C-alpha cells in the first residue's frame, strides 16, 4: 500500500479531514450536498406557507430525489465498503474498529425510518395541508437531519481515517468503481448538478473532470433545469 498522502478537500460543516493515500473528494462532495439539503429542508418546512400547494409538491418531489441519492450512497457503502473495512479490522484483531463499523452499519438502519416518516409527512401535507401536519413534518425532518448529521460526522471522524490506514489502492479502486456504477443515467441527471451546487466552480469542474469528461458535460446540460426546480422547492427557505 502506498504511503503517499493525497491532498484532501474540506467543505463547510465537514467534521474531519481524513488524510492519507486515497482521494476522498467524492465522499466529501456527497456529504456536503447532503448537509446543505438537510438544512434547507428544515428551513423550508418551517417557513413555507401552509397553503402554498405547488411549493409543498416541489418539496415532496425534491425529498424523493434526496432519498433516492441517499439510498444509493448507503447501499454502495453497505455492499462495497463496510465488508472490506470489516475484513481488515478482523485481520488486525482491532475490536474498536469492529465496534465502530458495526455501529456505522447500524446507523443506516436508524436513519431509514426517519426518512420514511418525512416522506409520509410530505404526503400528509399534500393531501390535507394544516398546521398539525406541518408541525409533525417539522419534527420528522429535524429528527432525520440530526440522525444523518451524526452519521456523517461519525463516518468522517472514524470510518474514513480507518479506511486511509488499511485499504489498499486496488481495494479503493474497486469501491470507487462500484460507487460510479450505482447511479444510472436518470439519477445522474439530478445527482451531478445537485452535488456541484454551492461548490466553488473551479473545484466542482475539477472533481467532475476527474470523474470523467461526460460528468462535466452533463453538469453544463442539466444545471439550468436543476436550479429552476431548486428555486421552486426552496422558495421560502
User: How many angstroms separate the CA atoms of 77 and 80, rounded?
Assistant: 5
* C-alpha cell, 20: 492519507
Sketch out the chain's domains with CATH numbers.
25-182 (1.20.120.520)
Name the residue among 32, 67, 24 with its Cα closest to residue 159: 24
Q: What is the DSSP letter of 78?
A: I
- State yes or no: pLDDT of 3 exceeds 70: no
Mean pLDDT on 106-134: 96
Q: What kind and span of H or E run contains 107?
A: helix 95-127
Summarised one tens digit per residue, pLDDT across range 43-102 is: 999 999 999 999 999 999 999 999 999 999 999 999 999 999 999 999 999 999 999 999
- State yes or no: pLDDT of 2 exceeds 50: no
* C-alpha cell, 117: 416518516
Give 114's Cβ-side CA count (13 Å radius): 20
Q: What is the DSSP letter of 9?
A: P
- State yes or no: pLDDT of 154 exceeds 50: yes
Contact between 24 and 8 under an 8 Å Cβ cutoff? The reply is: yes
Residue whose grid cell is 469501491: 175
Amino acid at each position: 500500500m502506498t504511503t503517499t498522502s493525497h491532498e484532501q478537500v474540506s467543505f463547510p460543516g465537514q467534521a474531519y479531514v481524513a488524510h492519507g493515500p486515497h482521494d476522498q473528494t467524492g465522499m466529501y462532495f456527497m456529504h456536503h450536498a447532503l448537509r446543505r439539503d438537510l438544512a434547507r429542508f428544515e428551513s423550508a418546512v418551517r417557513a413555507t406557507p401552509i397553503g402554498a400547494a405547488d411549493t409543498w409538491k416541489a418539496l415532496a418531489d425534491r425529498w424523493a430525489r434526496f432519498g433516492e441519492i441517499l439510498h444509493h450512497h448507503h447501499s454502495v457503502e453497505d455492499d462495497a465498503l463496510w465488508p472490506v473495512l470489516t475484513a481488515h479490522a478482523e485481520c488486525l484483531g482491532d475490536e474498536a474498529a469492529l465496534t465502530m463499523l458495526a455501529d456505522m452499519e447500524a446507523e443506516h438502519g436508524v436513519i431509514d425510518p426517519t426518512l420514511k416518516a418525512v416522506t409520509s409527512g410530505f404526503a400528509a401535507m399534500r393531501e390535507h395541508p394544516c398546521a398539525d401536519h406541518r408541525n409533525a413534518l417539522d419534527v420528522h425532518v429535524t429528527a432525520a437531519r440530526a440522525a444523518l448529521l451524526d452519521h456523517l460526522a461519525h463516518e468522517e471522524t472514524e470510518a474514513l481515517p480507518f479506511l486511509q490506514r488499511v485499504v489498499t489502492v486496488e481495494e479503493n479502486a474497486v469501491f470507487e468503481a462500484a460507487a460510479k456504477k450505482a447511479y444510472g443515467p436518470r439519477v445522474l441527471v439530478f445527482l451531478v448538478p445537485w452535488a456541484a451546487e454551492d461548490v466553488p466552480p473551479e473545484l466542482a469542474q475539477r472533481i467532475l473532470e476527474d470523474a470523467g469528461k461526460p460528468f462535466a458535460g452533463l453538469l453544463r446540460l442539466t444545471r439550468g433545469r436543476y436550479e429552476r426546480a431548486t428555486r421552486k422547492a426552496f422558495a421560502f427557505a
